[in-house]
Amino acid sequence: GEDVEQSLFLSVREGDSSVINCTYTDSSSTYLYWYKQEPGAGLQLLTYIFSNMDMKQDQRLTVLLNKKDKHLSLRIADTQTGDSAIYFCAESKGNYQLIWGAGTKLIIKP
């Protein structure tokens, strides 16, 4: 079946790196996504990775894809208070629809 799983919470200290993990089930997914949702706001696209890549870096963000294990991760370097949000992992179904994880709430400790 189609399923995307994420841990519900992650707590890190300001300045440390955050690593948010996601597992998915559909090996035919072409794109995998990370979205960020701040309190009271819509979803903001952070980054996406094509399934034939294993890594993508964009400033403080690093996405790692292990296609064999169907595991996706988002690393945020030097985590700041502004990174406090819920982070959603999503995979493409191939018919322009996305399958969504439950979201990981990132909590920043001072």
Q: How far from 58 is each of 16, 17, 27, 29, 48, CA to CA, in Å?
A: 17, 15, 25, 22, 10
Strands 85-92 and 104-109: antiparallel
- Separation between Cα atoms, residue 18 and residue 11, nearest integer Å: 8
Q: Which stretch binds another protein (CB under 8 A): 51-59, 67-75, 76-84, 85-93?
A: 85-93
- Binding-residue total with another protein (CB under 8 A): 23
Residue 58 near another protein by CB under 8 A: no
- Cα separation of 60 and 27, whole Å? 28
Q: Quick one: 39 or 82, whose CB is closer to another protein?
A: 39
Of 5 and 54, the one with the shorter C-beta distance to another protein is: 5
Q: Where do contacts with another protein occur on this chain (CB under 8 A)? A: 30-31, 33, 35, 40-45, 48, 50, 88, 92-94, 96-98, 100-103
